[in-house]
Amino acid sequence: MTPETAAEIAAYVGAAAWLPQIIGWVYNYFTKPRVLLLNDGNAELGFTTFGPIFNLRLAFSASKKDAIIDDLKVVLTHENGDKHIFRWIGYGR
């Protein structure tokens, strides 16, 4: 199949211009990091002078490429329906 007019040639060039974008989408889809959350099965719930506190011992493992976890929250619901949201603020060494 050979192009016969300049319009057909331009159409093929225009369609080919999308190939790098499409390849990028496919690459990003298949290399999205997978994060595995490991915990020890225990949690500490308490109250300090700063307010309620919720401690977990966690480990994260990422596969396919590096991952940054920038938000983590736990929603605890009491048996009477009272809900508390505990948000991870951060950790630095």
Beta strands 51-63 and 83-87 are unpaired
Is the per-residue pLDDT at 76 higher than 80? yes
What is the phi/psi pair of residue 40, to 5°?
-95, 0
Summarised one tens digit per residue, pLDDT across range 46-72 is 888 888 888 888 888 888 888 777 788
Give strand ranges (E) for 1-93.
34-48, 51-63, 73-77, 83-87
Q: Which residues contact 3 (CB under 8 A, 6 or more apart)?
A: 9, 12
Summarised one tens digit per residue, pLDDT across range 20-54 is 999 999 998 888 888 888 888 888 888 888 888 88
pTM: 0.48
